[in-house]
Structure 1
């Protein structure tokens, strides 16, 4: 670990759109603390997650690898035993890596049992927790239905609420994510009609301030024990779309940005996109009355996140830790909010797949880029390589598929990628049944360059293509345009080049392979292609020389 390695506070919000920040151009939502970090560092304006859904996006971020490399392609698809994670790389570089909040990681329990890894051992706990040491793990989705709870683990947040006097069966839902209707009944935040109600909880006890308190507790406990990496991972502004007072009515219909959608998107739509357009979420978010109640609540959730980010920044400033702590702000994916007639995420338009990314490095080497905006194509897998670089470690590029952003943070000239990739597996969705596809054919790939975005769908479909220069709102699909055949071929060349990458040889590096070339098999006594010993250095045959010992007959 380098002597000047900083602390790394890696903050991830859940389902935060890239353009719902005032520093990113939102006209009515003020986020002064996000802006404060952007003024201290670099805002990467074209950052893409590697899959527009929580679980697989996060597994890519935590491993520094593409979805098709690590295989955890959807929520609750286990991350296989043996995947090396951010925490593993950082510990090798001498830096601890802690979790405070959510990962959405599903452990490979079968693989752990096969290898005899006890979940309560240090190694087993790290394998089962995506490589992190746990300060606090809470995935923040304690929903309950006929088959029980969505998340089978214990909820630290529910335990906290009970200690604070919230004694309901499931205070996460009944208080933090529900209001009260006119009859005094629970008004569940899962029903979007209640989004405008205040959550039935004291603001200071709600999820965002609670997790912020835990993060400050961590940093206070670690003072003087630098450096560290801490992944502070919030559940908000992810649905349920409901927020406590005073945030519930800070924004109104007049604050909603114009919807980005066109009727022509629904005319002869690509079959996979059309399947989504006929889904339940699209039907809901195509309605203006839904958007009118949900978006102000979503904005309130973001404003609450921003205010509590301010508490963290103030704490770092007041305790003198700001000067040695890198701040990273991002999200695992976005939220359509009715744009393109869609709700949630799950597809590749920018509101879904493009993520906010702001990095503020307080060290003098980054002075030249403070307050700047980069338009480089960034993949979220770049963060793992960046953190290893910051820790003074060697980036294991035979494992980590992203690139360190440190040169960009320092304003150094650096060759950069020409395209970015994202993947999506919709095999568990109703869209798969609607299209009559086998699970292995329910895969989507996005390739984006400075100007073009291509979406490839397995299963024999034509591609989708958007000209981001002429059509930045992604209304016109050119995927079947004969006039764009050459562009489509170029984009497929990018996809094919990416698909041929070396991604599975993770146990030996290029450097080690080159070293083996220099040694040669003769160094270990393998003599191939020699008729006699002419020209062979004696050292190669020394073990094979001497008088033979005849074998006695029985």
Structure 2
């Protein structure tokens, strides 16, 4: 038995909390994830620091809000100058591995929407003086996940250290179009692998008609979910031969769109048996109405990363396919947990499950994420199972955040955190009176006429969202209105509550101001 615990940190992508059996879903089958919850603690009110992939993953890694670590939206990588909790574990003697999705750096290679624009009649600063930071994260060190440059494994290019991970096998992108190290492997298994992927190579199926959904020709054993599980099991087998403790991040690219569960998972769930959320089609917010009008007029392409409106049949189909992706992940997790047990590692390994953000999944008639902080997008699962400190089927209603992950893992490992960490130990520190969610978009999306800057606060009872440059905001009573259908922000009867919440939000944002760096001298 090791003196220090191992950690298996499982993270999915775009997976809302109520899409698990242990969180009350009566349709999706997730017995293995439910089993982790039965052996540990399930956090009911766990919120993202940011409802977008790169910012929230950076917040998990650093224990810091995105306004502090600077990765405010996709397209801004996590600086190599920012310390991660994985680096602290490695410094303390842990073996560290990342298998699956990373997304700490950009992988699209698309041009930035926000760029430095020279002003006529003024001297234009030299390139290295055009940002507040001279280290602007635009060097080759931040192109390691760039799909267009992925001609050999990331490990061969990272030099043995990728944000604290000594071992990396990465899957970039999503669904049957996942790439990176996974794609290099898949092409090695089948030289014609590319002829199996994408909508142009999809298997015929007239039953499902929904945006970004196709029946992939990729077999289950070659799909990214299976690859992540198989490579994770192989890495664990190596660790079983060593005495050093380990931290493995097993990161699945699914159930993110496109919606392409392979094989038997494609039709595992019948769309006709899917219930729509009570809020479907009931939002009075201007952008939601605009998205629905764009869908009805056919002016919204609905084929990219922006949120979009759906019909009832489309919503049922997409939810059913998402359930298939989740069940495939659950089966894969079960295989890895069985291997962990067979290797004699289970009794020393803390198993953690979470996601980087959620998805509307039909809430208010929408799909995907971004811009609107409904519970389905900002509330995610967080489950902690520690065999050395058993907590059978416990439930925590404490307000918790993605920034708490790092502090909680370090506390259990007996490793001191670094100066500037903003999260708390979920089992040792009291909860805050509120959690903050930040979002800064970099482009205009359907329903909006400008990029959005949103700050949301969630308390025990309320959710309030404030927007920069807009003439509307949001306030919901989550106890009386869990579907967030009645915006109380401009309701005179709630003026006093709004004022109190505004002060609470200000206090919490002051508490989250940066305390790094440490001073060199005492005044």
- TM-score tier (shorter): 0.7 to 0.9
Aligned to 1:31: 30
1:481 is matched with 491
Provide the C-alpha distance between the structure 1 equivalents of 2:53 and 2:332, rounded to a whole number of angstroms. 22
The 1:296/1:417 distance shift into structure 2, 3 A limit, reads same
1:98 aligned counterpart, secondary structure: strand
Q: 1:133 matched to which residue of 2?
A: 166
Structure 1: tracts of 5 or more residues without a match: 145-150, 408-413, 522-554
Given the alignment of the two structures, is residue 356 of structure 1 paired with residue 414 of structure 2, yes or no? Answer: no
Equivalent in 257, 270, 275 of residue 275 of structure 2: 257
Paired residues of 1:7 and 1:228 also in contact (CA < 8 A) = yes
- 1:430 aligned to 2:454? no
1:213 aligns with 2:235: no
TM-score normalised per structure 2: 0.82
d(CA) in 2 for partners of 1:133, 1:81:
15
Q: Distance in 2 between matches of 1:362 and 1:344?
A: 36
1:392 aligns with 2:425: no
Name 2:355's counterpart in structure 1: 331
Query: Does the 8 Å CA contact 2:437/2:455 hold for their aligned counterparts?
Result: yes
2:433 to 396, 399, 418: 418
Question: Does the C-alpha gap of structure 1 residues 110 and 180 become closer, same or farther in structure 2, counting only changes over 3 Å?
Answer: farther
Residue deviations 1:112-140 (CA, integer Å, cap 9, x gap): 68899998999x93898444333202223
Q: Is the 8 A contact 2:8 2:350 kept in 1?
A: yes
The alpha-carbon deviation at position 343 of structure 1 amounts to 0.9
- Given the superposition, is the C-alpha separation of residues 229 and 353 from structure 1 closer, same or farther in structure 2, using an over 3 Å criterion? same
Within the candidate set 199, 215, 221, 1:204 is matched to 221
Higher helix share: 1
d(CA) in 2 for partners of 1:112 and 1:458? 26
* Structure with the larger RCO, 1 or 2 (CA within 8 Å, 6+ apart): 2
Q: Give the CA deviation at 1:94.
A: 3.1
Q: How far did 1:56 drift? A: 1.3
**Offset from partner CA, 1:41-64 (integer Å, 9 cap, x none):** 001011111111111111111111
**Aligned equivalent of 2:116:** none
> Does structure 1 retain, via aligned residues, the 8 Å contact 2:162–2:168?
no
Identify the residue that residue 503 of structure 2 maps to in structure 1: 493
CA RMSD of superposed structures (Å): 3.4
The superposition leaves residues 391-410 of structure 1 with CA deviations (integer Å, 9 ceiling, x where unpaired) of 211123x3211111233xxx
Q: Is the 8 A contact 2:291 2:308 kept in 1?
A: no
Count the aligned residue pairs: 478
Q: Residues 142 and 77 (structure 1 numbering): CA distance in 2 closer, same or farther, change over 3 Å? A: farther
Counterpart pick for 1:406 among 407, 419, 427? 427
Structure 2 runs not aligned, ≥5 long: 107-132, 145-152, 295-299
Residue number in structure 1 paired with 2:251? 233
1:93 to 2:126 alignment: no
1:264 is displaced (CA, Å) by 4.7
Corresponding residue SS for 1:213: helix
Shift of 1:259: 2.3
1:29, 1:159 → 2: CA distance? 32
1:314 counterpart residue number: 338
Structure 1 SS opposite 2:225: helix
- Go from structure 1 to structure 2 and tell me whether the alpha carbon gap of 1:116 and 1:25 turns closer, same or farther (over 3 Å shift): closer
Deviation at residue 295 of structure 1 after TM alignment? 1.6
| Alpha-carbon spacing, 1:159–1:142, altered in 2? closer, same or farther (3 Å) | farther
Larger radius of gyration: 1
